[in-house]
Amino acid sequence: MGFSTKAVHSGIEADPSTGSLMTPIHLTSTYLQSEIGKHKGYVYSRVANPTRTVLEKSIASLENGKEGLAFASGMAAETAVFHLLKAGDHAVISRNVYGGTFRVAKFVLENFSLHFDFVDSTDIGVLKDAVRAETRMVFVESPTNPTMEITDLRAVAKLCKARKLISVVDNTFATPYLQNPLDFGIDIVLHSATKYLNGHSDMLGGLVVLNDPKLTERLRFIQKSVGGILSPFEAWMCLRGIKTLAVRMARHDANAIEVAAFLNTNRKVKKVNYPGLASHPQHYLAQKQMRGFGGMISFDLGSFEKAKKLLKSVRLCALAESLGGVETLISHPATMTHAALSPEERQRVGVTDGLVRISVGIEDVEDIIEDLKQALAKV
């Protein structure tokens, strides 16, 4: 079955009691049992809820995995995955991950005697060298936020298999439309469903997909024990969004290619980070493991003042955190998504004061470029 067909149909069946073609929102905390121990697979909605189950099946199918799990946010999903570790364990993480991943690892989980190293995962040698006796997990993001670095996911899977480490990929930027990490042998793929999967900037959610039955059992246990589950309403919102994922991503991708090309020729722009540009250091790798380059671009204007001026001058592009919605969003990583990093850490990962990130929407691309053009003229 093709991706677009799966996006519309996977996991979705007409409701057997009414024929309702659209998935009902099951607003219930509990379920009738006909006698002790006899029920229809649902006993309490923290453990499982039929609306959430449909979403979990849908994302599992899109990621070519066996099981999906839905959480209240991308961070709740990540935290659940990190709960697979125990005190004393060490994990290696891409140096360039989402700011919230850095924050939860450094300022929450390190208090529980977990240890993290943030390394340049674009260099597999560096990643290999960071693995030590206590290492249990490798967590990478590709493309990374916001500098769009690409990590070789096949190489990560191979390294982790050889060293018996759990491999995790944050696939939020690429979405399953462009990249399926499990196909490369990665153990766990996770998403902030808040972004492209829902796609309309009107809910938060997190999704995890995996194949290994033991890991799945453990993560399901963590999900019901810690309880950071997705509500039935948000699960329904996300399911609704996923149905148009393929058409939205095709448009995000096509628009971003044109916006990146425009930025690349503008003399006010010092550098454009977009894996679809031939000048991107991992352009070839991106072509090898992705089916397109996505809708995220970052570019450097050279100074904080210039970035500030541009962000004040845009009219169509909305200055806001987040990404992956149908509308074009523009942001300043150093003061917004990556404010949790110290100036030194930001410098190290390339989040400069002049860096601007754009989540290219599905509007007419001429309008997006026109807006950027007039704002750049004021810089």
Ligand X SMILES: *Cc1c(COP(=O)(O)O)cnc(C)c1O
Backbone angles phi, psi at 304, to 5 degrees: -60, -40
Is 98 annotated in the active site? yes
CB of 160 to ligand X, least distance (A): 20
C-beta closer to ligand X: residue 194 or 282: 194
C-beta closer to ligand X: residue 191 or 306: 191
The interface mask with ligand X, positions 171-210, x = CB under 6 A, is -xx------------------x-xx--------x-x----
Is 170 annotated in the active site? yes
SS (H, E, C) the chain: CCHHHHHHHCCCCCCCCCCCCCCCCCCCCECCCCECCECCCCCECCCCCHHHHHHHHHHHHHCCCCEEEEECCHHHHHHHHHCCCCCCCEEEEECCCCHHHHHHHHHCHHHHCCEEEEECCCCHHHHHHHCCCCEEEEEEECCCCCCCCCCCHHHHHHHHHHHCCEEEEECCCCHHHHCCHHHHCCCEEEEECCCCCCCCCCCCCEEEEECCHHHHHHHHHHHHHHCCECCHHHHHHHHHHHCCHHHHHHHHHHHHHHHHHHHHHCCCCCEEECCCCCCCCCHHHHHHHCCCCCCEEEEECCCHHHHHHHHHHCCCCEECCCCCCCCCEEECCCCCCCCCCCHHHHHHHCCCCCEEEEECCCCCHHHHHHHHHHHHHCC
Q: Which residue has its beta carbon closest to ligand X? A: 74
The interface mask with ligand X, positions 25-64, x = CB under 6 A, is ----------------------------------------
**Region from 8-16, 37-45, 72-80, 228-236 binding ligand X, contact rule CB under 6 A:** 72-80
C-beta closer to ligand X: residue 3 or 173: 173
Site membership for ligand X, residue 141 (CB under 6 A): yes
Is 195 annotated in the active site? yes
Site membership for ligand X, residue 94 (CB under 6 A): no
CA distance linking residue 310 with residue 314, whole number of Å = 6
Is 271 annotated in the active site? no
Among 79, 145, 175, 298, binds ligand X (CB under 6 A): 145
How many of the chain's residues bind ligand X (CB under 6 A)? Answer: 15
**Region from 25-33, 71-79, 178-186, 328-336 binding ligand X, contact rule CB under 6 A:** 71-79
C-beta closer to ligand X: residue 181 or 369: 181
Among 23, 49, 53, 73, binds ligand X (CB under 6 A): 73
CB of 116 to ligand X, least distance (A): 15
C-beta closer to ligand X: residue 172 or 223: 172
C-beta closer to ligand X: residue 81 or 379: 81
Cα torsion angle, 21, 223, 127, 345, sign = positive
The interface mask with ligand X, positions 335-354, x = CB under 6 A, is --------------------
**Residues contributing to the site for ligand X (CB under 6 A):** 73-75, 98, 100, 141, 145, 170, 172-173, 192, 194-195, 204, 206
| Catalytic residue list | 46, 98, 170, 195
